Structure formats: structure tokens, C-alpha cells
Chains A and B, each alone.
Chain A
Amino acid sequence: MSADHDSLPAQALALAASATCPAWLADYRARAQRALQDTAFPGRKAEAWKYTSLHALTQSAALAAGATVSRASVPADDLPPLDAWRVVFVNGRYDATQSSLPAGGELIVAPLVSLPDAEQAHARALLALTDTARLPFAALNGAAFADGLLVRVPRGATAGKPLHVVFHATGDAPATAQACLLVSVEAQASLTLVEQYTGHGDNLFTNAVTAIDLARDARLVHARLDFADHRQFHVGSLHLNLQGGSRCDAWQLMTGSRLKRTDLACTLNGAGAELALKGAWLVGTDEHADTQARIDHAQPHGTSDQSWKGLVGGNGKAVFNGRIHIHPGAKQTSAELVNNNLLLSADAEVDTKPELEIYNDDVKCSHGATVGQLNETGVFYLQSRGIARPDAELMLALGFVNAMVDDVPVPGLAGWVHGRFARWFAQRSGRPGGSR
């Protein structure tokens, strides 16, 4: 095992050394490279990586192979039918032919490699939100990314249509792609963002960083979808900064893969900020998904409300850590976290841990986690109405997670996600009952 962890930094540094970037990003790049040199890549002794091994990644050729430049169309089947602006990256590179950018005004969208001078300060400010010191893969991203996307909604503006950003990983040869998405929603502005990871093929590693800043009284609807090929590797982090009076309604929806690790770092950094977060992971045969959600309440009168559900079948393994940190000044905070898991097989595993750290007495907090099996009374109820047992199990299991997306305020998205969940159940859950 130690050989793995020795090879990871070397591979990462080799990747970083060969990366190129625009001159205006040189400072950030240098800082990320230093962080990468200083960071020990996590072994399983590190608490935050206790249940997730990087062995499969270090043993694959993906990281050593580095970035590839290739073109491929994203299959239509991979994309939800949205009335939205769409930006597509293929293997970490912007693909203009598959993208439709807004003309400007209420929504500024630009790839980092061709970023207008006037937008560079915005991008740098967003990159400063990324926690490269704590998250080694975020440091690797900063040290090695070749392109990315800046999204900015100017003060008081409302983006007329949702923005759909797709990072597609594909190809026959092993490769690593860095994905970088930077989003600034300025004061009193509003945006609906669908961030999606897609991909087909083996031995592909996507290392993603998303940094989002919501200024005073800004509004964001954010859905992060990851239903890429289960043979791929994905490590991603979301850095979300909420200023006073802002509100984010977020969904994190994913199926498992050979290695999937998602770190959320959300800071309620102004009085009265609100975060509503719903998530679902579906983890099946030979799949793994590790979600680490960390919410920092740094200012008073903030609200965070998290609900996560897991559906785990086959020999799949899901890991969740939900940490809520309430800082001394964050009086009258309300923070809730609930995580419910449904195991579909005897070999499925869930390791879930809510953590509360509270440094203020005047707060309302609750957290809880459950791990259970399909409700037999529910199965019997459906059977008694003529529905065969495998179909009854399917309905119950999918209903459990479908309920998480029913209220996504993006027309066309919930139904498409339901379809993806159903496909996962048929192909990956290790259960019969995919007939419906």
C-alpha cells in the first residue's frame, strides 16, 4: 500500500510539470503546485480517507497517462432535455462546437483559456476559494488544469435560462482530465446551474473543482449530476461561499463508480445565508461512492438543511461524512442533517457518520443517520395490488431516491434523473426487477 501513496504525489507532480496555463493564472498555479509538493496524499490512516482507497487509481494507467486532447460528441442519451444554455468540455477542453453560449449581458460565460482581461480578477477571486491546502486533489487540479469555465451573473441580473455545463470524459486510452468550474453570482443576481459529469470508457480519471460565490442576497439553484461510466474514476470538490442573505438550493445526484469521491465545502459566510442541500447516491456492484459534506456556519442567523439518501446494492460501498461546524459568532443558526440509506443486498456496505462541532449555545441543530432494508410491509402492500415482488421492490427502492429530485425547479430534469436511477437499478443494483 505504501508504494501506492508514494507513487501518487510523483504522478501528480509529473502531471503538474507538464501542464500549461495562461499567464494570468501563473500565481495560482504556482501556489497549487507548492500545495501539492507539501501535501501528503492521503493514506487510509487519514480519517477523511478511512473508507476510501486510492489503490485502484494508482494502479490504473489513468494518472500517469495525463491529459489527452480528443474530440467526441456527447451522446444525446447522456444529456437531460433542458431548455438551457449549454457548455461542453471534452476531456478537460472546451468544445465550442457542442456549446451554445449566451450573448452576454445577464449571463457571462467564458472558457478560461480565452478569458477577457476584465474577467480575470473574477476568476482569480473564485480560485482563491478552493481549499488546496486541505484537499490534495484540489491542489492537483490547480497545478495541472489546462482549461476551465468562468460563469458570472452581474449584480441584480437574472439569467434568463438555466446554464448546463457538461464535463465529458471519453476515449479508448487511459487519461486524466482536470475540470474547473468557477461561478460568481453577484449581489441580488440569480442563476440556475446544472453541472454534469458524463463519460464512457475505462481507465479515465476526472479530477474536478467547482468554486461558487454567492454575493449578498444572490440566489442559486445548483444541480450536480454524475452518472458517468461506472468504470471511471472521479474525484471532485465543490467550494461554496454564501454571503449575507444569499440562498442556494442544491442537489448532488450520483451513481457509483470504481472510485468516486466528492468533497463539499460550504461556508455560510454572511448573516442570514441559507443552504438547502439534497443528495442521493446509488452505488451498485463493484462501485464506490464517498461523499464528504462539510458545512461551516461562520456568521449568525444562517440556515442549512441537508437531506441525503443512499441506495446500495450488490457489493457496493457508500461512504458519507456530514460535518457541521458552527463557529463562535454564528448565533441563531439552524442546521439539520439527515442521511437515510437502503441496503439492497447482504454484501452492500454503508459507512455513514454525521459530525457536529458547535461553538455557540444559541443554535438549533439536529443530525441523524439510518441504514435499513426494503420495507417488507411496503412490498406486501404493492404485491397485494397485483404487482410482482421484483417490481414492488423496484418501485419502493426507486421511490426512495426519486423523492429527492421531485422538487428540482428545472423543467425536464427530475424525469430524466428518474430514468437514470431506473437504469442503474436494472443494470447495476444486483437485483432482478429491471423489467419495468
Chain B
Amino acid sequence: MLEIRNLHANVQGKEILKGLSLTIGSGEVHAIMGPNGSGKSTLAAVLSGRDGYEVTAGEILFNGEDITGLAPEERARKGMFLAFQYPVEIPGVSNLEFLKASLEQVRKAQGKDVWDAVTFMKKAREACTKVNLDQAFLKRGVNEGFSGGEKKRNEIMQMLLLEPALGILDETDSGLDIDALQVVAQGVNSLRDAGRSFVLVTHYQRLLDHIVPDHVHVLAGGRIVKSGGKELALELEEKGYGWLKDAAAAG
């Protein structure tokens, strides 16, 4: 599904990712953990093609194709989805208008039927229900005046509709109370299947109680310094990140 090979990336001339390699198979859920400033959010941004994040070496293969030079919308149309840590407010553009434009572009690019208005509304309402978001939010400006939890649930709602092949969740658990965390986790879990993969970028272990990962990686100093199964997350929770810093320095 996704193969990252020796990825180096700069932000404002400073190297943040320093030779990161990672392979994610179909149907797998990978958690990327690590201390603040380790490059977690940079990885999410680089994967989604954000401007200002410069790949200086290495490559990113998505279903075998090098996507390093592709614009964000092209990656989205190929089935990548980034759930933002800080979803953006877009006043004057209703959630419905936004979702409709997004779904049209993505489904068309993927050779799927573009939903007619009735089907679209039905699907949008269902997705709202699944993430416990009142349908009134569909008519409001995108994320406009939404609480932190509502914004995160709106991200998951979009993901449910777009049905991406690869979902990248950037600190989606930050700022969520336990109820909202469960709603988000249920949304992700409902999408899990053999053909769909997830990357969960998170600082804390608690999200992984609800979305159980197949693999856990620790990012430190711009590289993956340790990989393991779900039990690694528990170990990190217990010991913190300090004991891995030597490994990072040595690597």
C-alpha cells in the first residue's frame, strides 16, 4: 500500500525527516508515536503533499507509484486522506457544498459513480449519525464555529464518505474527551478492512486502546528508532520516550 524509502524532508531549510523508511501493507494499521518535535506531523504533511515541505531525498510509493511530486489533490484522488490535527474553518462554504465538490472529484478520479443529490444527502446524513454530529452541521460553514471535538468528528465524517485506501490521522485524539475519542475510534474501526490501511500519528497511547494497531513505530530525531507490535505502545506509556533517545542518537 505505502512504502516510504529513506525519506529526507526539510521545512524552511531545516531537515526534519532524516532517512525515514516504513512499509505499510494493505489492511494494516500503523501507529507512529514519538516525543514532541520528533517529526510526526511533518511526516503526515509530507505524505499529503503540503506546500513548504520539501522532500530532499528518498521516495514515497503509494500502490507502487512514486507520488513524491504529486499535488495534494492528486494524492487525495488516488485514495489518500489526511485527518488534520487542526481542521481549518472555511466561512461561507457550507459543509455540504464542500463535501459535494470533494466527493465528485475523488469518486470521478477513481472511476466510481458520482452520487446524485438524493444519494449524496442520504450518505452525508448517515455519516453524520455515525460520528454523532447533528445534521445541522452539514449546512454550516466548514468547521465554522465548531468545537474542537466537533471538528475532529467532522474529519472522520469526511473520511467515512470518501472511503480512502489510506487514512492518515494526525493527532486526531488531541483535545478529545473520552466520548468523542470513542466516536472517532468507532468511525475508523468501521472502515477497517483488508483493502484499507491507516497511519495513526499520536503522542499518547490512549487512542490505541480503541483503535488497536498492528504495528507501532517510534519516531525520534526524524527517523524510526523502534518498531514493534501493539505492546510497544504500552511500554512507551509506562517508560516514556527518554529510554529511546540513546537509540536515536546512536542511529
Shortest beta-carbon distance from B118 to chain A in Å: 20
Report how far A436 CA is from B105 CA in the complex, Å. Answer: 12
Within 8 Å CB of B90, what residues of A?
378, 381-382, 395-396, 399
Chain B interface residue number, banded: 20 to 34
Minimum CB–CB distance for B50 against chain A, Å: 5
CA distance A392 to B48 in the complex (A): 16
Q: Are A382 and B98 touching (Cβ within 8 A)?
A: yes
B88 and A381 contacting across the interface, CB-CB below 8 Å: yes
Closest Cβ neighbor of A375 among chain B residues: B88
Output the residue of A376, A383, A389, A400 with the most chain B CB within 10 A.
Answer: A383
Partner of B141 from A376, A386, A403 at Cβ < 8 Å: A403
Once A396-B93, A403-B141 are accepted as A-B contacts, the answer to whether A383 and B88 lie under 8 Å apart by CB is: no
Given the known interface contacts A380-B51, A436-B101, the answer about A386 and B73 at a Cβ–Cβ threshold of 8 Å is yes
Tell me which of B12-20, B76-84, B119-127 binds A.
B76-84
A387 contacts across to B, CB distance below 8 A: 73, 101-102, 105
B72 and A395 contacting across the interface, CB-CB below 8 Å? no
Q: Mark interface residues in B153-174 (1 if CB within 8 Å of A CB, else 0).
A: 0000010001000000000000
Please tell me if A97 contacts chain B, counting CB pairs below 8 Å. no
Are A403 and B91 in contact, with the CB atoms below 8 A? yes
| A386 partner, pick from B51, B88, B97, B109, beta carbons under 8 A | B109
Contact of A378 among B48, B88, B162 (CB under 8 A): B88
Q: Is B92 positioned at the interface, with any CB of A under 8 Å from its CB?
A: yes
A398 close to B (CB within 8 Å): yes
Is B27 located at the chain interface by the 8 A CB criterion? no
Tell yes or no: A391 within 8 A of B by CB: yes
Q: How many residue pairs at the A-B interface have CB separations less than 8 Å? A: 84
Q: Is B58 an interface residue when CB atoms closer than 8 A count as contact?
A: no
Q: Are A380 and B72 in contact (CB under 8 A)?
A: yes
CA separation between A392 and B74, bound complex, in Å? 13
User: Complex: how many Å from CA A257 to CA B76?
Assistant: 39
Contact residues in B for A385 (Cβ distance below 8 Å): 73, 76, 98, 101-102, 105-106, 158, 162
A406–B92 Cα distance when bound, in Å, is 8
Determine the chain B residues whose CB is within 8 A of the CB of A389 once the complex forms: 71, 73
Complex contacts, B91 vs chain A, CB 8 Å: 399-400, 403
Contact B92–A400 (Cβ < 8 Å): yes
Interface residues on A, range: 20 to 34
CA distance A382 to B72 in the complex (A): 9
A384 touches B48 (CB 8 A): yes
Complex interface bits, B172-195 against A, C-beta within 8 A gives 1, otherwise 0: 000000000000000000000000
- A401→B93 CA distance, assembly (Å): 10
User: Known: A386-B106, A399-B141. Contact between A376 and B51, CB under 8 A?
Assistant: yes
A383–B141 touching, CB < 8 Å: no
Contact of B76 among A378, A384, A436 (CB under 8 A): A384
B230-245 interface code vs A (CB 8 A; 1 in, 0 out): 0000000000000000
Docked complex: B51-72 residues within 8 A CB-CB of A:
51, 71-72
CB of B35 within 8 Å of the partner chain = no
State which of A383, A399, A400 has its C-beta within 8 Å of the C-beta of B73: A383
Cβ-defined contact, B92 with A386, below 8 A = no
Which A residues form the contact surface with B (CB < 8 A)? 375-378, 380-389, 391-392, 395-396, 398-404, 406, 436
Supplied contacts A382-B102, A384-B50, A386-B105, 10 more A-B pairs, CB within 8 Å: A378-B90, A382-B98, A384-B84, A385-B98, A385-B106, A387-B102, A388-B71, A395-B101, A396-B93, A399-B141
4 nearest A-B residue pairs (beta carbon): A399-B92, A403-B92, A399-B93, A383-B72
